[in-house]
């Protein structure tokens, strides 16, 4: 009756099209023949699960070098199906207030809440990739975010300031700047010429006496900064 039957399982991901050459012959003498071509396209069914490029993604997070809204990591998955069956959305398997994930491209962003995380800890978040098939399929991977302790550092190894001689006691010389993690305080101290200069808790150097250039025209001041971490970090500059 001319019906075409399948003799074995079909897998569109292996072969998505078959071209058959058909012959119809009568039983006359001599027989008459006719030829035709049948093209069979194999339709996709959602039989492939999204696959992440890695089972585990990891990154180091140094809190004083990032801000809310920064992308810190991207996850990615592929699906061998086509159409909606191959479209993938991403989500966290377990929500975390410090991070959000872009459901379309797998980018993971910081939120302001992440800055309350204890430094020196690892944050483990499961991520899930789900396709858009009518019977959706999913797979999971793990994201590990290592929150690093933040060393306190001066932004420069040395600073240079100048001011006119004869300025009265308590005059500002200049301000030093350090990089520190959130919720970390810093205590400054003058290690040399401490009878001539002092430093505020904001890092501003001020004079303790009236300066006379003819007595001394240059001061190499050693400044130490100690933060409030446990154990504390110490930084020095001149």
- Domain pair 51-148 / 150-238, same fold: yes
What average pLDDT does the chain have?
A: 89
Residue 5: predicted pLDDT: 87
SS3 at position 237: strand
Count of C-beta atoms within a 10 Å radius of residue 193: 15
Kindly report whether the peptide bond that precedes residue 231 is cis, defined as omega within 30 degrees of 0: yes
Residue 10: predicted pLDDT: 84
Q: What pairing do the DSSP bridges indicate for beta strands 138-148 and 56-62?
A: parallel
Q: Tell me the pLDDT tens digit for each residue of 198-230.
A: 999 999 999 999 999 999 999 999 999 998 877
Residue 182: predicted pLDDT: 65
Q: Look up the CATH number of domain 51-148.
A: 2.60.40.60
Measured distance CA(54)–CA(33) in Å, rounded: 57
Query: Would you list the domain boundaries of the chain?
Result: 51-148, 150-238
Residue 159: predicted pLDDT: 93
Q: Tell me the pLDDT tens digit for each residue of 22-81.
A: 999 888 888 899 999 989 888 788 888 999 999 999 998 887 678 889 999 999 999 999
Q: Tell me the pLDDT tens digit for each residue of 83-141.
A: 899 999 999 999 888 899 999 999 999 987 666 666 667 899 999 999 999 899 999 99
Q: The CATH number of 150-238 is which of 2.60.40.60, 3.40.50.2300, 3.90.1150.10, 2.40.37.10?
A: 2.60.40.60
Residue 67: predicted pLDDT: 83
What is the per-residue burial (b if ≥16 Cβ within 10 Å, else e) of 22-60? eeeeeeeeeeeeeeeeeeeeeebebebbbebeeeebeee
């Amino acid at each position: 009756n001319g019906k075409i039957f399948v003799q074995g399982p079909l897998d569109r991901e292996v072969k998505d099209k078959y071209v058959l050459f058909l012959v119809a012959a009568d039983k006359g003498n001599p027989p008459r023949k006719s030829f035709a071509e049948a093209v069979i396209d194999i339709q996709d069914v959602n039989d492939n699960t999204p696959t992440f490029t890695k089972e585990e993604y990891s990154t180091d997070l140094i809190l004083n070098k990032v801000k809310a809204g920064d992308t810190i990591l991207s996850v990615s998955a592929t699906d061998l199906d086509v159409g909606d069956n191959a479209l993938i959305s991403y989500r966290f398997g377990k929500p975390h207030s410090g991070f959000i994930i872009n459901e379309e491209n797998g980018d993971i962003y910081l939120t302001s809440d992440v800055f309350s995380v204890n430094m020196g800890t690892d944050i483990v978040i499961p991520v899930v990739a789900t396709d858009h098939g009518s019977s959706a399929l999913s797979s999971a991977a793990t994201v590990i975010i290592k929150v690093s302790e933040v060393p306190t550092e001066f932004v420069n190894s040395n600073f240079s300031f100048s001011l006119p001689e004869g300025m009265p006691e308590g005059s500002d010389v200049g301000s030093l700047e350090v990089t520190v993690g959130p919720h970390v305080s810093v205590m400054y101290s003058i290690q040399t010429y401490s009878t001539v200069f002092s430093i505020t808790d904001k890092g501003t150097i001020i004079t303790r006496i009236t300066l006379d250039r003819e007595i001394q025209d240059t001061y190499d001041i050693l400044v130490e900064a100690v933060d409030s971490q446990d154990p504390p970090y110490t930084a020095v500059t001149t």
